[in-house]
Structure 1
Amino acid sequence: MDPYTPRTHGRKKNLGLSTREYTKVTGTIASVRRTRQYLEDGLGDESGARVPSSRGSVDRGGYDEPSFIAETSFVRAPLNSRVASGVGVPKDRSKGKGKARDTLDGVPVEIQEALILEDLLFVLMGIEGTHITYHPDHSPEDDDPLQGVRFVVSPSLDPSLRDLVERILPLATYYTAITSFIELRSHLDFGLVNHALCAAMRDMLKDYQTLLSQLEHAFSTSPQFTLQKLWFYVHPTLHTLSLLYLLITELATADDPSAAMSDSDSDSTPDPEEEARNEALGLGGAKLKAVLSDINKGSTLGVDDSASGIVKGGEVLAILHERMQNMSGDPAARALYGALSRATGKPYVEMVQVWIRTGRLVDPYEELCVKESKFIDRGTLEMDYVDEYWERRYTLRDGTAVGGSSKQHQAGVPSPRTVDGRLPGGACIPPPLERWKKKVLLAGKYLNVIRECGIEISRDPDSTDDEEFSMEDDKFYKSIDEAYAHANRTLLQLLLRDQQLMPRLRSLKRFFFLSQSSFLTHLLDLSQSELRKQAKSASLVKLQSLLDLALNTDTQGEDAMFREDVRVTMASSGLYEWLLKVVTVNGVIGGEDGDRGQAYEESKKEREKEKDDKKQLLAIDALALDYNVKFPLSLVISRRTILRYQLIFRFLLHLKHVEQSLSSMWIEHKTSPWRRSTRPPTSRASSPASTPANDWHTDFENWRKRVFLLRTRMLAFVQQVLAFCTFEVLEPNWRKLEEKLKAGKVETVDQLLRDHVDFLDTCLKECMLTSSKLLKTYSKLIVTCSTFALYTASFTKSANQARATADSPEGDRAMPKRWDFLDKFETNFNHWFVHLDCVQFYASSENVSLLPLVVRLNSIKAT
């Protein structure tokens, strides 16, 4: 037996009446009709005078015939007389608005009960009766249909009957409100979830209408049918419809959370003078106020789907779940809301299943928690591959990041509802699905990438596609786990095996981390003249051809397969200046707030000299490599990861260039001007300025030794930093990543992406490229070393001049200038060698991996 149909325990199965009962019932109803007609038209008397029928029936057998059988239209279609009045259309109330047209004064209680029973069968269908009429304030044009129609009882009804009638009347209000809600939410704009909710409510109203049909049958056939029995039968249904009414009221309130505020504002008494002025200006009227209300409503609800204030998708399911949890103490309410939740969640669950099993997002009304940015497609990915395709093509509507961060992306996320902070529409994720939302997103994203590669997605053998799930079913969440695992295995296999991810990463490591030094040395030798030019004057075409020549000569094996993907590019700014700007914007990794402020001031000064820096930027300082990779490998080797590779490459290239320059300076120092003097050296004076003129050999020897010593210290510093970065940072971290990939420890694609980015970030941090203090002092040291190497010819010229003037009677008067020039380099190098102190501080406090560098630099520390 349906819960909305009254149970008939103890009643006879056969509803037929005996002749005596039939005569009594029909006689009573006929008497009621005669009395009603008499009261309406004022004709005849209560003794039985003949009056015409008010409902168009034909009285064929005189007044002694007490049956309705002769009224063919009423017998065949008993609702005809009700429909004639129209639903929600008030009747003519010329005798007084809100008052019954017929009075029940002087009518016996039994007849009043029969009359009011017939009226109640009208009213419970939302149709105005004779003695139960619309509320005096009822206006179909102005009233909110979702609030339902209110009815009032004739004041002349007997008080003993009025109490029961007033208990039953809310049922009519609930029914009319629910009917209006179903009619409104069945439009396309409200989405599939609302359509399923309306369908479930419509099924429940069918049970209610079946109940009314049974009650009408009992009223027409059973003489024992009374108002008390009617209340007995409709009492359970009253509770059911009240729960539905509370639900639709909450949904309507969520549609327009400012309704209560606007209602309170409308209660204030308007100024008559202001109203008259507005009318004269054409600013009055209810229609204009409605338009202004709609404008204000649209401006306060945020962006995206919430602009129209529609409650749909996941928000409907969230409201149902909250009501079910809040009313868990009421078994009937929990059963009702549970049934509605299962029926309403079917289209939502089906969309989730399609997404996680095929990678296709079928969400025509934007109700699902997953959102697609259609302006990001594979075409843009081929032209300029970025990880936006992976990060922003498919995202969660609530803005949650997939990487595990609790921070939300605010762009494109709609504003929350002002009532309780719940996100509107599809951005509101149903509470049972909250824990699984990231797996839902990733499972579909993995399969979507496979589909974009033109690969047919095979069905998981463990999947159960034919089963129907609900959000309260554990099998639904188990299917999400299975789909996620299947999609993840498929995409990992595609990347690691079919797309040759590991050979690609190894070639990147060799090209950008200078594992093959012969390739870089050959390139620097071939392009030496071109790299001395300014960056804007260097020819990329020539540099690219020289790079291809170096790669063709020195690359073998896997590197030869991917050498065509490497190309030359020029950066727009210097490495260290750009890194300082990045550190200033993003903050210092492991630094303090004071470091950030100091870095900002220094970066501000650097930006003031930006034009001069661009003019003086040499090609060797702007040279970088780029790497071409196709989809789907571009998800792993994305533009962000390529940028990290480029930073490390430019850092190592600069070190290698300075090392090569200092080594060339050492070769220069083996020429004849720098050979040892034949005269035995004397004791060194305490100061170069006090050196006698006849002791120029001693002075020259001391100056020459100081040049050699400074060159050796610089070369040792550069070689130690280069060896540390290459053999104690890059290689060990690469081995860890390689072991993870080979051993199968990477279980998910997102873990693969995170491990790859973490590997590069760790390399940048341990190479001292993410701390403003270390970066500043290190850059000053490297610039000092490279500048010193640039003056190789100047030092050689000074040595030649010194030897040429050695035998002159005046001696070498330029020697003090040479000492001053050398002292500037020594002082600058020794001053910025506090870099060692910074390294020791960071190694002892934050970055233990720098301890090997401390040991290396202690060997060349100035005494």
Structure 2
Amino acid sequence: MDPYTPRTRPGGRKKTLGLSAKEYTKITGTIASVRRQNRLPGGDIDDEPASSHISREGHSRDQENESSFIAETSFVRAPLNSRVVSTGNVPKKKGKEKLEPLDRVPLEIQEAMILEDLLYVLMGIEGTYVTFHPDYSPEDDDPLQGIRFVVSPSLDSSLRDLVERVLPLGMYYTAVFAFVEHRSHLDYGLVNHALCAAIRDMLKDYQTLLSQLEHAFNTSPQFSLQKLWFYVHPTIHTLSLIYHLILELATADDPAADGSSSSSSSSDDEEEAARNEALGLGGAKLKAVLSEINKKDTDVTGSSGISVKGGEVLTIIYERMQNMSGDPTANMLYGTLLKAAGKPYVSMLRMWVTTGKLLDPHEELLVKESKFIDRGIIEMDYTDEYWERRYTLRDGSTSSSSKRHQAGVPPPRSVGGRLPGGACVPPLLESWKHKILLAGKYLNVIRECGMEVSRDKGTEDEDLSMDDEKFYRFIEDAYSHANKTLLELLLKDQQLIPRLRSLKRYFFLSQASFLTHLLDLSATELRKASKSASIVKLQSLLDLALNADAHGEDLLFREDVKVTMSETGLYDFLLKVVNVSGVIGGEEGGDGEAKQAQEEQKKEEKKAMLAIDALTLDYTVKFPLSLVISRKTILRYQLLFRFLLHLKHVEQSLSSMWIEQKTSAWRSPMPNHPEFATWRLRVCLLRSRMLAFVQQILAFSTFEVLEPNWRALEAKLEKVTTVDQLLRDHVDFLDTCLKECMLTSEKLLKAYSKLIVTCSTFGLYNSSLTKSASHAAAGGSAAEDTGMAKRSDVLSKFETNFNHWLIHLDCVQFYASSENVSLLPLVVRLNSVKATV
């Protein structure tokens, strides 16, 4: 804002003004005399030091000790010093009623008096004939609204219009000055500080203009009210734009959000709960601490909510600039303020995307850090919390399409609907926020691995702003560099792809020989209850099986495979997962408690789970591979492994039954016992159909689901360009395998689990059936007639159950035609099993 100086304006008032030289000299002498009397009540400026700033309403020099400046000769000639009024020496308006009405004073004298007052008012100081509004109260009024001024009603109407045009400038100045002083508080953050600094620079230009106007008023008889208006009217528009901006910033602090913020704070999110537990706070003590913090926050923000800072400030400025884009002055002013206020924001972003360090002491940035999540958690129990929850966006958004709720996201403002503080992402960065987040996260992983991350010295000193295209090229380059570095670290240094191949071989039974060897070695141990089986013994048998069959890359990673026991059955767990309504958001009250009691009773009544049904594998990886092979992905691998292991075990049981049924007890002709021959034939037929069913499911899952999807994943891994894409492709591969193996559909899972349990139970009767066949072949007909009825009855139950749950095929046909086309090959395979019914 370049002020106009009276000396630079060409031309001026004619010296005669249509009067004679004598009349003109008399009038100008009278105006000068009035100016001296109003400015210096005690005498001429050369004889009166500007030491005490005594009130213009006649305060005595006894109040000199209450002045805001100490008497000093260096201030004698300072033009603005005579206007500064001590805060403890506010004029009491005594004697204002005794002021002589302006309508009794000549027009030229009125103009001189009102010019003197206006120069006070433009600095926010009350004048003689231009005073504070009658309703103004320094104690009750909000200083951010500005001080309103009114002019004496006795002023001539020809001057009143110009004076009332100038008066808003005093209100704007007082409001802006109060805003700068208030928002310079430390707790308002760096963006507010930068904004206040930029506004303060503009106020310096305004004060320079006032000093020039005062100089013209003191030295030039030609200075008039019209000239004052000519010089200040561009400034009125500029200050009005700043005034309306600070009003919006001041009113954006949402006092109505007190209730919502208190209610949201009452339900602690996971981050707060972990922090409170670590601090040992709870109950009344925690509430007392929080109430004390809220009380301190209220003094700063004016409410218990989040103050307007960081991204919210930049958003408000940008929105005003967009809404007033048709006004060149507004566009330039708000653009300047946006660039100045955004400098600390841009600086924090540059530090984040180039080094992975988040230096945000006032929580202004769009990225949030959960400091209680560190690498120590990963070393104890490697999870993907470090990746997903340590650094997140404050607005709760994720790069995935699912809009899942994230804890810790503040509620939006009731006015405007924007998120408060740093959770409000500046519109210019909205489309870049995920790349900004990921760039810093990638670099954090690299730093945690002990590798140095240095800033790019080529662009370190370059001045960038959010309205500059170079800034977004800089973000893109930083994201690409961080992504490329981490991708090379995972794929090359950490050998991610060989790790995934070993997972596939162990968990998807691609190396089935080790599993067959393991089942043979641990057959006795796996027949025990899961709680009685020795994990140490099973682990030693697994190591023995792996050492016997491992080769190539398997030798590198076989020590990472561990035996563990699951606490729940596979199908019970899967049904709980797919039946979400029964796990999350259950009914409240008596019905919910009754259902819970029934479920607990059913659990107690269930037989103890066998070790073969609880057996699963675990896989140990270290950071940073734990980001890709996380606990969630390992769980998916385990579900698929248990599914295939159960099929393999049932197939092995039915195959053993087939071997035993080749003995003479099953093959010898029995002409004297037609019922026994028929029973033998029924057993062989049922065993054959069950074996065919299990083999078809196992072949379909292995060769038509897992292998094709694995080849598709390998093709993607060869072309992967971003770490986020790598993580997404890996999880998508596992989810696709679970879906195509029918483990995510409740109806398919129910029918399949009943069928496979029937087959498994039938396999357990192998020795009993063989014993009955041998006894019948060697025994007499009389004894055999009584036992045959029981054996036939038991066999009929197996046949009935198996035939009944073959509705699984109908379910598969329905889903293959409506939802999952990949199940069509399974329909063809199972039709051969159903044809033998």
Report the TM-score when normalising by structure 1. Answer: 0.83
Distance 2:697 2:297 in 1: 58
Contact 2:79 2:214 in 1 (8 A): no
Residue 838 (structure 1) shift: 1.4
Partner residue of 1:628 out of 609, 620, 624 = 620
Q: Structure 1: which amino acid aligns with 2:2?
A: P
Distance 2:440 2:304 in 1: 28
Contact 1:321 1:341 in 2 (8 A): yes
Partner residue of 2:816 out of 830, 838, 843 = 843
Q: Structure 1: which amino acid aligns with 2:43?
A: S
Q: Structure 2: which amino acid aligns with 1:28?
A: T
Aligned twin of 2:358: 361
Runs of 5+ consecutive residues of structure 1 not aligned to the other structure: 14-18, 41-51, 60-70, 262-293, 589-600, 682-694
Aligned twin of 1:785: 759
Distance 2:23 2:562 in 1: 103
Q: Structure 2: which amino acid aligns with 1:372?
A: E
Contact 2:255 2:302 in 1 (8 A): no
Contact 1:37 1:53 in 2 (8 A): no
Partner residue of 2:659 out of 654, 667, 670 = 667
Q: Structure 1: which amino acid aligns with 2:29?
A: G
Aligned twin of 2:785: 812
User: Against the structure 1 CA distance between its residues 35 and 376, is the aligned structure 2 distance closer, same or farther, given a 3 Å change threshold?
Assistant: closer
**Corresponding residue SS for 1:536:** coil
Q: Structure 2: which amino acid aligns with 1:180?
A: A
Aligned twin of 1:529: 524
Residue 116 (structure 1) shift: 1.5
Alignment of 1:291-370 (within 5 A): 307-370=304-367
Q: Structure 2: which amino acid aligns with 1:843?
A: A
Alignment of 1:602-613 (within 5 A): 608-613=601-606
Q: Structure 2: which amino acid aligns with 1:548?
A: D
User: Against the structure 1 CA distance between its residues 300 and 830, is the aligned structure 2 distance closer, same or farther, given a 3 Å change threshold?
Assistant: farther
Distance 2:549 2:367 in 1: 49
Partner residue of 1:616 out of 597, 608, 616 = 608
Is structure 2 residue 633 aligned with structure 1 residue 641?
Answer: yes
**Corresponding residue SS for 2:681:** helix
Aligned twin of 1:152: 150
**Corresponding residue SS for 2:567:** coil
Aligned residue pairs total 764
CA deviation vs aligned residue, 1:74-101 (integer Å, no higher than 9, x gap): 8622333222x336963022346xx685
Aligned twin of 2:413: 417
**Corresponding residue SS for 1:616:** coil
User: Against the structure 1 CA distance between its residues 325 and 179, is the aligned structure 2 distance closer, same or farther, given a 3 Å change threshold?
Assistant: same
Aligned twin of 1:120: 118
Partner residue of 1:581 out of 576, 586, 601 = 576
**Corresponding residue SS for 1:703:** helix
Is structure 2 residue 558 aligned with structure 1 residue 563?
Answer: yes
Distance 1:812 1:647 in 2: 46
**Corresponding residue SS for 1:365:** coil
Alignment of 1:190-229 (within 5 A): 190-229=188-227
Aligned twin of 1:854: 827
Alignment of 1:339-488 (within 5 A): 339-405=336-402, 407-457=403-453, 464-488=459-483
**Corresponding residue SS for 1:860:** helix
Residue 26 (structure 1) shift: 7.6
Aligned twin of 1:505: 500
User: Against the structure 1 CA distance between its residues 358 and 57, is the aligned structure 2 distance closer, same or farther, given a 3 Å change threshold?
Assistant: same
Contact 2:187 2:362 in 1 (8 A): yes
Is structure 2 residue 69 aligned with structure 1 residue 77?
Answer: no
Contact 1:805 1:812 in 2 (8 A): no
Distance 1:133 1:259 in 2: 37
Q: Which moved more, 1:221-230 or 1:408-417?
A: 408-417
Alignment of 1:652-663 (within 5 A): 652-663=644-655
Partner residue of 2:803 out of 805, 808, 830 = 830
User: Against the structure 1 CA distance between its residues 208 and 459, is the aligned structure 2 distance closer, same or farther, given a 3 Å change threshold?
Assistant: closer
Contact 1:534 1:616 in 2 (8 A): yes
Q: Which moved more, 1:188-197 or 1:147-156?
A: 147-156
User: Against the structure 1 CA distance between its residues 549 and 834, is the aligned structure 2 distance closer, same or farther, given a 3 Å change threshold?
Assistant: same
Aligned twin of 1:266: none
Q: Structure 1: which amino acid aligns with 2:346?
A: V
**Corresponding residue SS for 2:141:** coil
User: Against the structure 1 CA distance between its residues 306 and 449, is the aligned structure 2 distance closer, same or farther, given a 3 Å change threshold?
Assistant: farther
Aligned twin of 1:140: 138
Distance 1:223 1:612 in 2: 108
User: Against the structure 1 CA distance between its residues 812 and 392, is the aligned structure 2 distance closer, same or farther, given a 3 Å change threshold?
Assistant: same
Residue 232 (structure 1) shift: 0.8
Distance 1:444 1:37 in 2: 62
Percentage of matched positions with identical amino acids: 71
Distance 2:429 2:417 in 1: 18
Residue 669 (structure 1) shift: 1.9
User: Against the structure 1 CA distance between its residues 408 and 531, is the aligned structure 2 distance closer, same or farther, given a 3 Å change threshold?
Assistant: closer
Distance 1:34 1:510 in 2: 100
Distance 2:39 2:448 in 1: 78
User: Against the structure 1 CA distance between its residues 820 and 308, is the aligned structure 2 distance closer, same or farther, given a 3 Å change threshold?
Assistant: closer
Q: Structure 1: which amino acid aligns with 2:92?
A: D
Residue 667 (structure 1) shift: 2.2
Contact 1:583 1:771 in 2 (8 A): yes
**Corresponding residue SS for 2:563:** strand
**Corresponding residue SS for 2:460:** coil
Contact 1:32 1:114 in 2 (8 A): yes
Contact 2:311 2:366 in 1 (8 A): yes
Distance 2:124 2:150 in 1: 13
CA deviation vs aligned residue, 1:629-658 (integer Å, no higher than 9, x gap): 111111110100000000000001111111
Alignment of 1:180-195 (within 5 A): 180-195=178-193
Runs of 5+ consecutive residues of structure 2 not aligned to the other structure: 13-20, 50-71, 260-290, 584-593
User: Against the structure 1 CA distance between its residues 608 and 124, is the aligned structure 2 distance closer, same or farther, given a 3 Å change threshold?
Assistant: same
Residue 185 (structure 1) shift: 0.5
User: Against the structure 1 CA distance between its residues 352 and 74, is the aligned structure 2 distance closer, same or farther, given a 3 Å change threshold?
Assistant: closer
Partner residue of 1:772 out of 739, 742, 746 = 746
Contact 1:574 1:621 in 2 (8 A): yes
Report the TM-score when normalising by structure 2. Answer: 0.86
Distance 2:6 2:474 in 1: 40
**Corresponding residue SS for 2:654:** helix
Partner residue of 1:714 out of 678, 684, 690 = 690
Is structure 2 residue 727 aligned with structure 1 residue 762?
Answer: no
Partner residue of 1:736 out of 709, 712, 729 = 712
**Corresponding residue SS for 1:111:** helix
Give the alignment's Cα RMSD to 1 decimal: 3.3
Question: Which structure: larger Rg?
Answer: 1
Residue 553 (structure 1) shift: 1.6
User: Against the structure 1 CA distance between its residues 337 and 21, is the aligned structure 2 distance closer, same or farther, given a 3 Å change threshold?
Assistant: farther
Residue 733 (structure 1) shift: 0.7
CA deviation vs aligned residue, 1:733-780 (integer Å, no higher than 9, x gap): 1111112213xx211111111110011011111111111111111111
User: Against the structure 1 CA distance between its residues 26 and 724, is the aligned structure 2 distance closer, same or farther, given a 3 Å change threshold?
Assistant: same
Contact 2:442 2:486 in 1 (8 A): yes
User: Against the structure 1 CA distance between its residues 114 and 791, is the aligned structure 2 distance closer, same or farther, given a 3 Å change threshold?
Assistant: same
Distance 1:124 1:205 in 2: 12
CA deviation vs aligned residue, 1:557-610 (integer Å, no higher than 9, x gap): 11111111111111111000110000001799xxxxxxxxxxxx9999766512
**Corresponding residue SS for 1:376:** coil
Distance 1:702 1:669 in 2: 14
Contact 1:122 1:129 in 2 (8 A): yes
CA deviation vs aligned residue, 1:320-358 (integer Å, no higher than 9, x gap): 111111111111111111111111111111111111111
User: Against the structure 1 CA distance between its residues 88 and 665, is the aligned structure 2 distance closer, same or farther, given a 3 Å change threshold?
Assistant: farther
Residue 360 (structure 1) shift: 1.0
Aligned twin of 1:131: 129
Aligned twin of 2:490: 495
CA deviation vs aligned residue, 1:145-169 (integer Å, no higher than 9, x gap): 1011122222332222222212111
Distance 2:773 2:599 in 1: 37
Distance 1:260 1:657 in 2: 61
